[in-house]
Amino acid sequence: MRVRKLEQNRGWAMTVAAGILKPTLLAATSRTWIDGEKIPATGGCIVVLNHISHVDPLLSAHFVYDHGRLPRYLAKSGLFTNKYLGGFLSSAGQIPVERLSRNAIGAYDAAVKAIAEGECIVIYPEGTLTRDPDLWPMKGKTGAARIALATGCPVIPVGQWGAHEVLPPYTKKPLLVPRKNIVMKAGDPVQLDDLLAMPQGPETTAQATDRIMDAITAIVADLRGETPPAERFDPRARGVREIGNPHDVARRTRRTRKRKPSR
């Protein structure tokens, strides 16, 4: 496992975060980093990953940081409402996103600007934890593809596995014993050159999104040693809510069934 020295100026917020989080992650997990040097050492780029646990951002930040880049995230705007946390996140270069609102366009503009300034943006194209029952990457949203097509920057796919054993999806209690191994592997840049030369529109963006998700899925399949589903899970097509815990409906249904009928 090779690591690359960080050349960027971290700033006070990143220095504090790295000083607290990195030793904690080193103590709580073991790591297998593969091909992280494929993340460009300099210049604007996008790192895209599959999303299987709420602890993913901390672990992917560790991966990106260990390979010489400061990760910039598109973070939920609600995190910025607290004066102190919001100030910390802003100082760390994180970008607020107002999901399901017209203001989401502001996050797109901010991400494009960050790329132009040479930043490394980390994006989970699925937009939320995967709803696939077996935790395979599901159908992606178009944000990463739109930013990539607007900037022409490299898009580096990263597959990861193991975070769900540290903090299973939709749970709050981490499972730290026994110590879990986190595996992350970077792939070659997603080939989008032909799409950059085409007129931009929904069809082009959809093709770019599919290529990004295909690249991530291929790496995850390699890490798991398994074959992914022939058709990617699509929450909208399955009638699954895109926000919140998808298991909540099942829990409410079970509770209702247990109630005795009134007389």
**Encoded tokens for 125:** 């194209």
C-alpha closest to that of 26 among 52, 50, 54, 1: 1
User: Over its length of 263 residues, how does the chain's per-residue pLDDT go in tens digits?
Assistant: 666 666 665 665 566 666 777 788 888 899 999 999 999 999 999 999 999 999 998 899 999 999 999 999 877 777 777 776 677 666 667 777 765 445 556 778 889 999 999 999 999 999 899 999 999 999 999 999 999 999 999 999 999 999 999 999 989 999 988 999 999 999 999 999 999 999 989 999 999 999 999 999 999 999 999 999 999 999 888 777 655 566 554 444 444 444 545 44
Q: Considering the domain boundaries, does residue 205 fall inside one?
A: yes
3-state secondary structure of 154: coil
Question: pTM for this structure?
Answer: 0.84
Q: Considering the domain boundaries, does residue 241 fall inside one?
A: yes
| CA–CA dist 11, 89 (Å, integer) | 12
- We report the CATH number of the domain holding residue 58 as 3.40.1130.10
| CA–CA dist 154, 10 (Å, integer) | 22
Q: Left, alpha or beta for 245 (phi > 0: left; psi -120 to 50: alpha)? A: beta
Q: Considering the domain boundaries, does residue 46 fall inside one?
A: yes
Question: The domain containing residue 115 runs over which residues?
Answer: 29-258
**Encoded tokens for 17:** 């975060």
Q: Considering the domain boundaries, does residue 153 fall inside one?
A: yes
Q: Considering the domain boundaries, does residue 223 fall inside one?
A: yes
**Number of domains making up the chain:** 1
Q: CA 159, 160, 165 angle in degrees (round to 5)?
A: 155
